[in-house]
């Protein structure tokens, strides 16, 4: 399974970013290959309007199955995620990526 996170850094011990549209980074973990890849979202975060949809579009390029984040995407971004079949898991805004992953696996989110 491919899992995406909204984060403030590119490592397992980086802090999660509770936001979606203006998150600092998107981190994607591929469970099968045990690979971690990331995307610097600062250009999109700097957009005046429509940061959410643009980030969702970027996410789509990675094709994750699940997105783990904090407060959740706004309406526009959420509809893209719905259309592209990405499931969303909320409540992981204030922890490290590793903790978020562990919590998710344990069904705590």
Partner 1 sequence: MKIAIASGKGGTGKTTISVNLASFLAEDKEVVLVDLDVEEPNSGLFLDAGLIHQENKFKMIPKWHEDACTLCGICQEVCNSNAVIQLDTIIMVFPQLCNSCYACSELCPTGALPMIPEKMGELKHFKNEHLHFVESRLEIGQEHAVPLITQTHKYIDEHFTNDLIQIFDSPPGTSCPVIEATKDADLVILVTEPTPFGLHDLKLAVETMQQLNKKTIVIINRHGIGNDEVFDYCQEENIPVIAKIPNSRLIAEIYSKGELIYPQVPEFRQEMEAIKTFILNFRKEEVR
Partner 2 sequence: MKEIVIISGKGGTGKTSLTAAFAYLGGEEVVVADCDVDAADMHLLMQPDFFRSEDFYSGELAWINQDECTQCGKCAEVCRFDAIPVIEGKYIVEPLSCEGCGYCARVCPVDAIINKPLNVGKWYASNIKTGTTMVHARLGIGADNSGKLVTKVKNEAKIIAKKANKDYIIVDGSPGIGCPVVSSLSGAAFVVLVTEPTVSGLHDLERVYKLVKKFNIKAGCIINKADLNLSKTEEIKEFLKSKNINHIASLPYDETFTKAMTHGQTIIEFGKGELQSMITDSWNKIKQIVNLK
Q: Concatenated DSSP letters for 39-52? A: EE-HHHHT-SS-HH
Nearer to partner 2, 2 or 91 (CB): 91
Q: Which of 31, 35, 40, 50 binds partner 1 (CB under 8 A)?
A: 50
22 touches which of partner 2, partner 1, none (CB within 5 to 8 A by kind)?
partner 2
Q: How far is CA 78 from CA 14, 56, 86, 96, in A?
A: 24, 8, 9, 23
Q: Are 94 and 33 in contact (CB under 8 A)?
A: no
103 binds partner 2 (CB under 8 A): no
Residue 66 DSSP class: E
Give the nearest distance from C-beta 48 to partner 2 in angstroms.
Answer: 4
Nearer to partner 1, 67 or 92 (CB): 67
CB atoms within 10 A of CB 50: 12
- Binding interface with partner 1 (CB under 8 A): 47, 49-51, 53-54, 56-57, 60, 75-76, 79-80, 83-84
């Amino acid at each position: 399974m491919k899992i995406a996170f909204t984060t403030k850094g590119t490592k397992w011990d980086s802090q999660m970013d509770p936001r979606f549209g203006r998150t600092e980074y998107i981190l994607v973990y591929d469970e099968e290959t045990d690979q971690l890849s990331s995307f610097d979202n600062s250009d999109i975060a700097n957009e005046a309007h429509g940061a959410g949809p643009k980030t969702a579009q970027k996410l789509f390029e990675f094709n994750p199955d699940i997105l783990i984040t904090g407060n959740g995407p706004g309406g526009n971004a959420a509809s893209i995620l719905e259309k592209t079949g990405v499931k969303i898991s909320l409540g992981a805004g204030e922890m490290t990526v590793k903790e978020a992953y562990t919590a998710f696996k344990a069904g705590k989110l």
